A and B are shown apart, each in its own frame.
Chain A
Amino acid sequence: MSNPDALHYFLGNRLAVCGLALLCLLYLLAGFTFLNDALGHAVVPDPDELRITEKSVLFRETSRRAACALDGSALLAEFPVLSDALAVPGKAFPLPFAGFRLLRQRLAAIGLENLESVNSFVQRFEVVHENKVFELVLFSSENQPPSPTHLFGSDEFGRDVFARVLYASRISLSVGFLAVVIALSLGVLLGCLAGYYGGFLDSVIMRLADVWMSLPGMMLLLTFVALTGANLASTILLIGVLSWPSPARLVRAEVLSLRQREFVEAAKAIGCTQTQIIFRHILPNALAPIIVQATLFLAGAILLESGLSFLGLGVQPPTASWGNMLSNGLSYLRTSPWQAFFPGFMLFLTVLSFNFVAEGLREALDPKRRRGP
């Protein structure tokens, strides 16, 4: 079984190739967000930015007469006191018919206190008609369904969901990747040493692995987060450090069987030192099952991080993470389902792709598992 052969087989597996293509695309897009940052958010908007577009204030008559749109920025300039109100977007100020007095009261509620200001407000913006029902809707671009300006729609603050999903992918993918790197570095090294040297070292490492595996990972994670506060770096570190026993066992098993193979004896006969034997001969051949497991573990780490963020223990808002976007979007599921749908879908697609790639790798690297010629 060699690399070129396995590559051909892998490329023949359509699902695996699709999964790989999708993942490459995702990583590219995630990497692209860095470029976007450098360019000052030229292509995709800042995910944290609350977008208030020009026609963002609508003062409309709910009796369905033609509404007149007000210039929000001009409004703010005139009535800076409204800035607070505008800063809490999404608030509708229904003004039921009760005459001017009530209108005044409502306007007072949003900061327009005295009559002059109200008068000038309504005069300025050609609003008031008695006996009519009006609605001052501070309508920025929040809760917009998917459209050409907002590919995935916008959330309740007017933030572009597409931008957030993209920036969130950065978090998820890096968490997955780094956690795997940590787990593998520890696991492969310890497993290799345990398998190659055997004896006391092997026993010690394997008992340690047994203990480690019995630790309740989720509880530890939650406790840790509760104690130290939610911190991305520590989450990654903890996920990685908790997971080393699995790859260690796999590597150890491979190394144990490889140790018996004659090419290892041959390596000794041609003058290789112990280190050379381990790193040049044994490790490259022991890595095949690890690759598969690592891919699956990546998917698991991403899910774990999303789960934590969903519970509010991972990445904190306003930083976007698929998990916290999901949990946020749940409250808007009826009104603006796209807020929860897209992060959830991305998560699903990512994990699925990893699974397809892992399955493809598993078949490609182990000739015995191949289905048919």
Chain B
Amino acid sequence: MALLEVRNLCKSFRDSGKAVHAVNGVSFSLEAGTALGLVGESGSGKSTLARLVLRLLEPDAGSIRFNGTNLLDLDFHGMRAQRRWLQIVFQDPFSALNPRMPVHQLLSEPLLNFGLIQSGEARAKASELLALVGLDDSGLFRFPHEFSGGQRQRLCIARALSLQPRLLVLDEPTSGLDVSVQAQLLSLLQRLQKQFGLSYLFISHDLRVVKAVCGQALVLKDGRVVEAGSTRQLFSRPSQAYTRQLVEASKALSLAKF
């Protein structure tokens, strides 16, 4: 049975009277221990989809089965209990961290929320988490704005992993970061996946990034799934016109071979 099964998910917004169908009948499955890429341009609905899967937004229709449980049947407390296993890393690491909280508080907050540790152990736990993502202890008492973009993203990853979730949704985690920092972050993510047997739902507009991290991928356009399959196949033999467009554009921007 798949770890995550999404069937016919729909969400629309009202924009000055007109209904905008951000997500329009999306279905997919994610097997445990794998990484599924969600590729799409702006307006494709990928960020909305990320939030719907975690019920940070309420879907209008459809079902989300996580580990057999239908998340949409749960009330607030039921869902909160499930949140332990479903975590998210956002696109903008600065906006995703409370600017007034020092790092040790940021990292230990999830564990304290669920009562998994005592407040006395918080600092030690935060230290552990920092080491996990390759940052050192000196950061414990600093604030988010004192870190670089790449480091902040590592903090977000550390926070998300603190609860030892099964599924990690990553919403464009490397966009806006430098090339070398991007490479480091992706290799960190791959290492963590192997280490903890995590499953990733990796959202990106960049096909090259998805190809580096994910085995399987979906292509989204205007809230619908255009094509799905293994990333290798999508890249080398895209069957849909839109996918082909994306692959061509991606190739046109990739490093020329000299």
Which residues from chain A sit less than 8 Å from chain B, CB to CB?
1-5, 261-263, 265-273, 276, 281, 284-285
| Cβ proximity bits B106-129 to A, threshold 8 Å, 1 near / 0 not | 000110011000000000000000
Which A-B residue pairs are the 7 nearest by beta carbons? A270-B110, A2-B143, A271-B113, A262-B96, A262-B95, A262-B90, A263-B98
| Cβ proximity bits B76-101 to A, threshold 8 Å, 1 near / 0 not | 00001001101110111001111110
> Can you report 5 residue pairs joining A to B where beta carbons are below 8 Å apart?
A2-B99, A262-B96, A271-B84, A271-B110, A272-B113
Q: B56 contacts the other chain (Cβ, under 8 Å)? A: yes
Among B92, B100, B146, B156, the residue within 8 A (CB) of A284 is B100
Residues of B within 8 A of A276 (CB): 113
Q: Is the pair A269, B113 in contact by a Cβ cutoff of 8 Å?
A: no
Looking across the interface, which residue of chain B has its beta carbon closest to that of A258?
Answer: B98
Among A271, A273, A281, the residue within 8 A (CB) of B98 is A281
Looking across the interface, which residue of chain B has its beta carbon closest to that of A287?
Answer: B100
Residues of A within 8 A of B51 (CB): 265
Are A270 and B109 also in contact (CB < 8 A) when A261-B95, A265-B51 are?
Answer: yes
Residues of B within 8 A of A3 (CB): 100, 143
Nearest-Cβ distance from residue A185 to partner chain B, whole angstroms = 21
Q: Is the pair A269, B56 in contact by a Cβ cutoff of 8 Å?
A: yes
Report the bound CA distance from A265 to B95 in whole Å.
Answer: 10
Residues of A within 8 A of B97 (CB): 263, 266
Are A266 and B88 also in contact (CB < 8 A) when A3-B100, A271-B110 are?
Answer: yes
Nearest-Cβ distance from residue B12 to partner chain A, whole angstroms = 19
Residues of A within 8 A of B163 (CB): 270-271
Are A263 and B95 also in contact (CB < 8 A) when A1-B145, A269-B56, A276-B113 are?
Answer: yes
Number of residue pairs spanning A and B whose beta carbons lie under 8 angstroms apart: 67
Looking across the interface, which residue of chain B has its beta carbon closest to that of A268?
Answer: B56
Q: B104 contacts the other chain (Cβ, under 8 Å)? A: no
Nearest-Cβ distance from residue A177 to partner chain B, whole angstroms = 25
Q: B159 contacts the other chain (Cβ, under 8 Å)? A: yes
Nearest-Cβ distance from residue B99 to partner chain A, whole angstroms = 6
Report the bound CA distance from A173 to B66 in whole Å.
Answer: 59
Q: B189 contacts the other chain (Cβ, under 8 Å)? A: no
Q: B54 contacts the other chain (Cβ, under 8 Å)? A: yes
Residues of A within 8 A of B156 (CB): 266
Report the bound CA distance from A298 to B86 in whole Å.
Answer: 47
Q: Is the pair A269, B87 in contact by a Cβ cutoff of 8 Å?
A: yes
Report the bound CA distance from A133 to B253 in whole Å.
Answer: 112
Residues of A within 8 A of B91 (CB): 262
Looking across the interface, which residue of chain A has its beta carbon closest to that of B89?
Answer: A266
Nearest-Cβ distance from residue A272 to partner chain B, whole angstroms = 6
Residue with the highest number of chain B CB atoms closer than 10 Å, among A265, A266, A273, A281: A266
Looking across the interface, which residue of chain B has its beta carbon closest to that of A270?
Answer: B110
Looking across the interface, which residue of chain B has its beta carbon closest to that of A282?
Answer: B98
Q: Is the pair B90, A265 in contact by a Cβ cutoff of 8 Å?
A: yes
Report the bound CA distance from A265 to B104 in whole Å.
Answer: 19
Q: Is the pair B145, A269 in contact by a Cβ cutoff of 8 Å?
A: no
Q: Is the pair A262, B92 in contact by a Cβ cutoff of 8 Å?
A: yes
| Cβ proximity bits B141-157 to A, threshold 8 Å, 1 near / 0 not | 00111100000000010
Instruction: List 17 extra interface pairs beyond A269-B56, A269-B88, CB under 8 A.
Output: A2-B99, A2-B146, A3-B100, A262-B90, A262-B91, A266-B88, A266-B96, A269-B86, A270-B83, A270-B110, A270-B113, A271-B110, A271-B114, A272-B109, A276-B113, A284-B98, A285-B98
Report the bound CA distance from A23 to B25 in whole Å.
Answer: 63
Report the bound CA distance from A263 to B93 in whole Å.
Answer: 9
